[in-house]
Structure formats: C-alpha cells, structure tokens
Amino acid sequence: MSKYVKNLIARDISNRLEGVQDAILVNVIGMDSASSYSIRKRLRDSGIQMLTVKRSLAARATADSTLRPMFDGQAGSVSVVWGCEDFVSLAKAIVEIGKSPEFAKFELKGGVMDGDGLTGEQVAAVSKWPNRQEQISILVGQILNPGATLSGQFKGAGSKLAGQLKTMIEKKEGEA
C-alpha cells in the first residue's frame, strides 16, 4: 500500500475517532461472519461502535490523541470499541460479551482511560467498578441518609412529647 493511501486511511480513522477519549481494544480476528455480525449487532443496540483496523494505521491516526497508548505492544489487526455513557459501562458490556460461550475467539486486549493505557486485565477490573448511574445512586443515598436519620430523631422525640401531652390532657379531663 502506498504512503498516500495509508495517509488517506489514517485520516479517515482519525476523523471517525475524533472526540473519543476512552476506548477498548479487542480482537475479533478468526471469528466467523455470523459471530462477528452478532457481536456488532449487540454492540450497536447498546450504542457502542466498533472499528476493525490494522494496528499500525490506527497508531498513525491517533498519534496526537489520548488514544495512542492503547496501541503500544499490539500487533496485527485489532478492533477499537467506544461509546456508552461512561468507560465503566463500556468495560462491563465488553467483558460480558467476552464471557459468552458463543464468542470464544473474542479477546479483550486492553484500552485507554483518561489517556492512560490499560491491559486487558485492568479493563476487566474496571468493569467491576460502579458505573455512572450506580455512583449517582450511591451518592444520593449518602446525602439522604443523614437527613432521614435526623428526621427520624425529630419525629421520635416529637411523637414522644405529643404522647406525654395527650396523657396529661386526658388526666386533667378525667379529674374534672
């Protein structure tokens, strides 16, 4: 392939990956077309995109971006996967596909998060973290818990005082 054609392909890859900050690298080489189609459909339904490309062309295309560390130490053709609401959700989706027995040749190679290169094992570890929605629910629970406790303390003391007042009023009415 001529240098001119390589530069054109690299420019196209660069345009497709423009704005992508975090991505995961997987290997789908060696899979039959039905399995490959099934993976792509599953990813597409989740709002995830996948681009299979030669590693050297992808490295050339991402030379000035935060995605560059992802291609270090890789060889041959690889698939770049990006999308989802956050990186943890993306990692969870990819690890789930990798665990599926119908996609035995699907291999998690690594990724990049916040400009730092990750190995496949590190991406699998990230998939166990809480995603954005889970983090928000944890935070809301932590914010509301002290308020609920305080409210319960006020209500408990107030209801006890109200009970004592009611008893006193009933005694006074009984005496009269």
In whole angstroms, what is the distance from residue 129 CA to residue 111 CA? 16
Q: Where are the alpha helices (DSSP H) in the chain?
A: 3-16, 33-45, 55-61, 87-99, 120-126, 132-175
Task: Report the greatest alpha carbon distance in the chain.
Answer: 109
Q: From the CA atom positions of the chain, what is the Rg in Å?
A: 28
Domain map (residue ranges) of the chain: 3-129, 130-176
Q: Are 82 and 48 in contact (CB under 8 A)?
A: yes
Q: Are 52 and 26 in contact (CB under 8 A)?
A: no
Match domain 3-129 to its CATH number in 3.10.180.10, 3.40.190.10, 1.20.1050.10, 3.30.70.1730. 3.30.70.1730
- 121: phi then psi, degrees, rounded to nearest 5: -65, -40
* Tens of each residue's pLDDT in the chain, 176 residues: 788 888 888 899 888 888 888 999 998 888 888 888 999 999 999 899 999 988 888 888 888 888 888 888 888 888 999 988 889 999 999 999 988 888 888 889 999 998 888 888 999 998 888 888 888 888 888 888 887 777 777 777 777 777 888 888 888 887 76
